[in-house]
Structure 1
Amino acid sequence: MSAVLAVLDLERTGEDSFTGHSLPQLNGRVYGGQVLAQSLVAAGRTVADAGLKAPRLPHSVHGYFLRPGNLDKPITFEVERLRDGRSFSARRTHALQDGTPILSMITSFQAAQPGLDHAETPPDVPAPEDLPSAVDLFTGLDDPAARFLARTGAFDVRHVAGHLYLGPTRDASESQALWIRARGPVEGDQLLQRAALAYSCDQVMLEPVLRRHRLSWLTPGLSVASLDHAMWWHRDVQVDDWLLYVQGSPSAQGGRGLGLARVFTRSGELAATIAQEGMVRVPPPGS
């Protein structure tokens, strides 16, 4: 987790420009959750120094993953200040490598205000302490990829109805639930906490698509890539405490699948809602 926090600590190179680096990945490409979180941090820093009367936190993000990123090259984050109104601020962030965008994202920020308040409640699921840990699974496997994930994975993930790491589950359900928590302390303001949540969610958002079609991360020929990402924060979040993801997939077609998630705190508050569409391709039967 300390490595994740280090890459989220961007270097400022201009009033609205930042530079960041990437963590190693098994597939040799920049992890989408990383560049998403870095772009959010960059946008947030330009809001913090805008001289506004009250602090403003991100409440929504809409981004498109445009190209795979190169792990060996730094990423430049260019922020455009679209608006600073009385209650809301808007920023557009481009993440660039060699002058070419790999992600484009708009973030909206809002000052704390009173208003209507209601939220869904989480389903009744087993506590995370009663579920197997992905960290323990990877640690117990004699495999280079598993050892890499056990060593570098920043979050502990615990599925309620079985994981998809080694094979498909028996049921073909479009729904799943899981608990997730940072494997180390995350001490920082809500901008950092919300960026860390964005970092973590990209690794599980398309799993309901795989589960619905009885696929796993080891399905031969499986090709998965994030296309776009939308996220709404409703309440404060602390990523080094357990968070419950309640997920589903309403549709998959044309080589694309849509994943949805509601994120609840351990105490049952709805903290965030997330949507992500991704490319999900498998070889045709018999190929």
Structure 2
Amino acid sequence: MPNKPLVAELIELLALERLEENLFRGQSRDIGSKAVFGGQVLGQALSAAQATVDPDSRRRAHSLHAYFLRAGDVQAPIIYDVDRTRDGGSFSVRRVSAIQHGKVIFFCAASFQGDEDGVEHQAQMPEVPAPEDIAEPPPVPPEVMATLPVKMQRWLSRELPFEFRYVQPRNELNPQPLPPRERFWFRLTEKIGDSPELHRTLLAYASDYQLLGAANFPHGISYYQPNVQMASLDHALWFHRPFRADDWLLYAIDSPTAQNSRGMARGLIFDCAGRLVASAAQEGLIRVVPTASDVAHVPARE
């Protein structure tokens, strides 16, 4: 049987099985990462929350605030337990706990609001080349790929449901110090339907791509290095204006600080018309573990 198209597979991954009124089950896809991809849990949790909001209320998610507590097991299903915290006159709030092996691995709060008129302004989109004017990222050369651990080979050679165009490409396998910012375009590899809820869950999934990586740039380190340990601690996402995940979106990321083995990154997401459609922020663990070579060069105490 042929493999399912990547976009259809991702949409199916984000469409949860309903077990009870407020209880859902999601599966995972092993994409070669060390644990369940954080964007998957974000997208599935938002999908669960959206499924408990009355569609007749015409309220849509405008913010999501999440904490990652434990690494997810790609071999086990994830249960999403939704608490219908509040349905007020203008806003609805849901709290979602993601559970594996009897333990909470993630929780979030999501807020929903209907359309309202009001004051409006936004940050200006950075001046960058159009996505059509940027070359696709080149594949890792076979001779380099052969030197890498098997799981990293799978991660780097995987096919993605999103395509990317990097304004300033960086060699993550041989990183050099750079300013703490990144700009790239991304979109789904094929067109999908018009459901705003589906496009939001897909953007939640994609918002975890590369976000924390900008905190590594000034230090010349990379997630791919065996002595670098990285893990997302939290994630915040705000939806500002309508958008489509299958149209080009610009992710403008910067990292204002790193300290105490934690780094912070924030991102603005624009459409091709320059409208700010979403914002994201994340703090994550970044540890650089001394290698055997580093230890060998430490002078012995007298």
Partners of 2:163 and 2:153 in 1: how far apart?
A: 14
The superposition leaves residues 127-181 of structure 1 with CA deviations (integer Å, 9 ceiling, x where unpaired) of 11222323x425x646364565444322112211123433214x52011211111
Runs of 4+ aligned structure 1 residues displaced above 6 Å come to: none
Residue 261 of structure 1 is matched in structure 2 by 267
Residue 247 of structure 2 is matched in structure 1 by 241
Residue 103 of structure 2 is matched in structure 1 by 100
TM-aligned CA distance change 1:224 to 1:165, over 3 Å: same
Partners of 2:212 and 2:70 in 1: how far apart?
A: 18
Residue 160 of structure 1 is matched in structure 2 by 167
Q: TM-score, normalised by structure 2?
A: 0.87
Give the Å deviation of 1:260: 0.5
Q: What secondary structure, in the 3-state scheme, does the structure 1 residue paired with 2:52 have? A: helix
Residue 4 of structure 2 is matched in structure 1 by none
Q: TM-score, normalised by structure 1?
A: 0.92
Say whether the 8 Å CA contact 1:74–1:97 is kept in structure 2.
Answer: yes
Partners of 2:281 and 2:133 in 1: how far apart?
A: 28
AA paired with 1:77? Y
Which of 205, 209, 219 is the equivalent residue of 1:213?
A: 219
Gaps of 5+ in 2: 1-6, 296-302
Comparing 250-259 with 217-226, greater Cα deviation is found at 217-226
Residue 9 of structure 1 is matched in structure 2 by 15
Gaps of 5+ in 1: none
Query: Residues 1-287 of structure 1: matches in 2 within 5 Å?
Result: 1-48=7-54, 52=56, 54-134=57-137, 136-138=138-140, 141=142, 143=145, 145-146=152-153, 149-169=156-176, 171-284=177-290, 286-287=294-295
Say whether the 8 Å CA contact 1:61–1:230 is kept in structure 2.
Answer: yes
Q: What secondary structure, in the 3-state scheme, does the structure 2 residue paired with 1:153 have? A: coil
Partners of 1:258 and 1:165 in 2: how far apart?
A: 19
Give the Å deviation of 1:106: 0.2
Say whether the 8 Å CA contact 1:141–1:147 is kept in structure 2.
Answer: no
The superposition leaves residues 68-106 of structure 1 with CA deviations (integer Å, 9 ceiling, x where unpaired) of 111111111100001001110000000111221111000
Partners of 1:29 and 1:149 in 2: how far apart?
A: 15
AA paired with 1:70? D
Partners of 1:241 and 1:167 in 2: how far apart?
A: 31
Give the Å deviation of 1:220: 3.7
Give the alignment's Cα RMSD to 1 decimal. 1.8
Equivalent residues, number: 281
The superposition leaves residues 9-49 of structure 1 with CA deviations (integer Å, 9 ceiling, x where unpaired) of 11111101111100113134111100111000000010036
TM-aligned CA distance change 1:146 to 1:48, over 3 Å: farther
